[in-house]
Amino acid sequence: MSDGIQPNGGSNGESTATRVPPQASGPFRFLARRLAAEHARGSLHRDSEYIAKQIGRIRLLTSYFSPEVRGIEHLPIDGPALLIGNHNAVSYMPDAWVTALAIVDRRGTESPAYTLTYDLLLTFPIVGPFLRRIGAVPAGTDQAEAALAEGAVVLDYPGGDWEACRPWSARNTIDFEGRTGFVRLALHTGVPLIPVVSQGSHDSLVVLSRGTWLARAMGLPAMHIKVFPILLGPLGITTALLPPPPLPSHITVEFLAPMTWADLGPEAAEDPAVVARCANEVISVMQEALDRLQVDHPHPVLTGLGNLITHPGHR
């Protein structure tokens, strides 16, 4: 899952070295070393040729959700841009893949584009190298600034796993859990901030609870993991370890008009009141768009099922 931009690469402002306590034993100690090694790499490892080879497979998989992309003209053809999205559907995140394809379709595979990612994922064998090659970097200000300086698009989901695992009843609510690092980055670098709103993706899974109590019972907060979602599937109640297959919910992704604060200089990034005001402005704009999209597609699962039946060849 992607995670929000925070100082020094941590999810809540801690340094990377403290994400997993150095005194931890067993797998925690192993993961601590892997996390440190990932951040020590520092550079960007996107492989455009590899991405070009994967596009067909990714497009086939996302076609299951009959995706619709709007407002792509708001994404500049070149130059840096910070894209901020709402996070959905636990570990499946189909809207993130739809968004990534839209970026590639707009700017091409050679144009640099990166996604800030929960760094624990990058420590896993097979998964980590794959994510690195398609443009994933550990969530953190340094990595994001390096990518933007390269003229890249940087995609960030500030809500992280907290938002991706929100209950189904809150599926049409933007919830960044108070994180504002993305605004500090935009103000400090002066790049345009482009909200990207997804609707229908979180309808593809029925999340009953974030499972915060279960995460605590399992000791996951030691790794700064607050959630262990409880899901409802065709065979009953399950967890993120055995998630049910996603429903073919129709997904709409809309790129909104760029937001800039031309009257504010880089020093505004150090003013908590200004940062909070700008963050609230972004969230308000995104929530308004999400509300509008929900009116357009009030029953995305039924819409998606209908699309599969009437347009099976699109897969």
Length of the chain in residues, anyone? 315
pLDDT in tens, 36-46: 665 565 567 79
pLDDT band of residue 28 (cuts 50, 70, 90) is low
SS3 string, 259-287, reads ECCCCCCHHHHHCHHHHHHHHHHHHHHHH
Give the global pTM. 0.88
Query: Running DSSP on this structure, what letter comes out for residue 75?
Result: S
- What does the alpha-carbon distance between residue 237 and residue 24 come to, in Å, rounded to a whole number? 32
Res 143: pLDDT = 85
136 membership: H or E segment, kind and range: strand 136-138
C-alpha 77: how far from chain center: 21
CATH architecture label of 16-205+248-314:
3-Layer(aba) Sandwich (3.40)
Residues 200, 201, 204, 210: is their CA dihedral positive or negative? negative
| pLDDT, tens digit (0-9, with 9 covering 90-100), for 216-253 | 888 777 767 889 999 999 889 999 889 999 999 999 99
Closest by CA position to 119, among listed 85, 160, 76, 159: 160
What would the DSSP string read from start to end of 46-79? --HHHHHHHHHHHHHHHGGG--EEE-GGGS-SSS
pLDDT in tens, 270-294: 999 999 999 999 999 999 999 999 9
CB atoms within 10 A of CB 309: 9
Say whether pLDDT at 14 is over 60.
no
For the ranges 55-64, 153-162, 166-175, 216-225, the lowest mean pLDDT is seen at: 216-225
Q: What is the DSSP letter of 16?
A: G
- What pLDDT, on the 0 to 100 scale, is given for residue 70? 98
Query: According to the model, what pLDDT value does residue 27 have?
Result: 54
Please give the pLDDT value at position 10. 36
What residues contact residue 91 under an 8 Å CB cut-off, 6+ apart? 1, 164, 240, 243
Encoded tokens for 168: 């189904």
Q: What is the pLDDT of residues 75-113, one digit of tens each?
A: 999 999 999 999 999 999 999 999 999 999 999 999 999
Q: What's the pLDDT at 139?
A: 79
